[in-house]
Homo-oligomer: A and B are copies of this chain.
Amino acid sequence: MAQYLNRTLRQVQQQICKQFSRESQTIQQRNYANGTSSGSTPRRAVLYVPGSDQRKLSKIPSLKVDCAVMDCEDGVAVNRKDEARHTICKALDELVFGATECVARVNSVSSGLAEEDMKVILQANRLPDTIMLPKVESVQDIKWFSETLSQVLKHRDLRGDRINLVIFVESARGLLNLRDICLWGQELSKGDTCFNLDGIVFGSDDFCADIGATRTTDAMELLYARQKVVIIAKAFGLQAIDLVHIDYKDLESLKRTSEAGAGMGFTGKQVIHPSQVPIVQAAFSPSPAKIEWASQLIEEFKLHQASGQGAFNFRGHMIDKPLLLQAENVLKLAERIKDNDT
């Protein structure tokens, strides 16, 4: 008997170790799979359009914005939620978005409205490319989303496609749990689910309200939070979308803060007015120097692969897989943004 127990205990220890190492392991591996290349959809400017406003929705195709969000949350009054759901559903089937990604933002899990949002919106024949989920605060939120989405889509054949999920960090708890949320999001994105975690938005207004901070122009009060979002996003191969610039008339200051965000590693920025789109998209476009760097790096990589070498030097640095992937993403992005920049 002692022998049996010992064996059981050994199995258990392995179990525990596996659990622990599984945790660390998942953070090690990014989305390097060729199929679902996370973060390759350009979202330099992310523009919100109230889902209940059919007129505004119909203008989306003319705005030349990378990412248009048909909103069910903040932009829609509670007594108009249902109208918004149906309007978005209809817009999905009727509008031709062209180079613009079409996104639906549902309400938060805690609002109790998100399930109905998904049920109505996802009746459209054309599913949205991406769902945005605001106020994600815990692993439970993302598990709830995964299960609800699977339930809602159980009779649809996605033909192997996944709907992108972009989550919002808008509270201290959300930020504190972000690493675990992404771990689970990444894990679920690999499994038998309908979505692929693709990005993180930093929702500064609710975040400031949550921690009791006051927004200033240079946003120094949010430096820790914003840079933490960037680090976690990049560690999981996700996009990071920066805070909104509220004063939509001050385009000079918009340019400055957009460039600051891009310089910090954000891949895009939220906008609330169409006039902000071109400035923001310019700030988050890869520079000619970056494109040249990426092209050269990929060329060198091919040469070294042809000669059977793995690692190689490029402009004073040993080049590894993550940098190669980044170079590829730069070129993909440069290619895909062309249509919105002409």
Residues of A within 8 A of B (CB): 1, 4-5, 7-9, 11-13, 15-16, 19-20, 24-25, 27-28, 30, 73-78, 107-108, 110-113, 134-135, 137-140, 171-173, 175-177, 179-180, 205-206, 209-214, 216, 220-221, 223-225, 227-228, 230-235, 262-265, 267, 304, 309-313, 316-318, 320-323, 326
Of all chain B residues, the one with the shortest Cβ separation from A229 is B224
Is B139 in contact with A24, judged by CB distance below 8 angstroms?
A: yes
CB contacts (< 8 Å) of A4 on chain B: these are 1, 5
List chain B residues, Cβ under 8 A from A76: 313
A-B contacts, 30 listed (Cβ < 8 Å)? A5-B7, A5-B8, A8-B9, A24-B138, A24-B140, A27-B138, A27-B177, A28-B137, A28-B138, A30-B173, A74-B313, A77-B313, A107-B311, A171-B234, A175-B231, A176-B232, A205-B317, A209-B326, A210-B326, A211-B265, A212-B234, A212-B265, A213-B230, A214-B263, A221-B264, A221-B265, A223-B223, A224-B227, A224-B228, A225-B227
Query: In whole Å, how far is A164's beta carbon from the nearest beta carbon of chain B?
Result: 19
Main SS at interface, chain A: helix
- Separation of A139 and B30 alpha carbons in the complex (Å): 16
Tell me which residues across on chain B come within 8 A of A312, comparing CB atoms: 78
Chain B residues whose C-beta falls within 8 Å of the C-beta of A112 in the assembled complex: 310-311
A262 and B27 within 8 A (CB): no
A325 and B286 alpha carbons, distance in the complex (Å): 43
Partner of A230, one of B209, B211, B262: B211
Decide: A179 and B176 in contact? CB cutoff 8 A: yes
CA distance A177 to B236 in the complex (A): 12
Q: 6 closest pairs, A vs B, by CB? A: A224-B227, A172-B234, A172-B235, A211-B265, A214-B263, A111-B311
Residues in B whose Cβ lies below 8 Å from that of A228: 224
The answer to whether B318 touches A111, judged by C-beta atoms less than 8 angstroms apart, is: yes
Stoichiometry, as copies per complex, reads 3
Cβ–Cβ < 8 Å partners of A318 in chain B = 73-74, 107-108, 111, 134
Cross-interface CB contact of A74 among B13, B221, B317, cutoff 8 Å? B317
| Residues of B close to A234: CB separation below 8 A | 171-172, 210-212
Q: Name the residue of chain B whose CB is nearest to the CB of A205.
A: B317
Which residues of B have CB within 8 Å of A310? 111-112
In Å, the complex CA distance between A322 and B207 comes to 11
In the assembled complex, how far is the CB of residue A97 from the closest CB belonging to chain B, in whole angstroms? 25
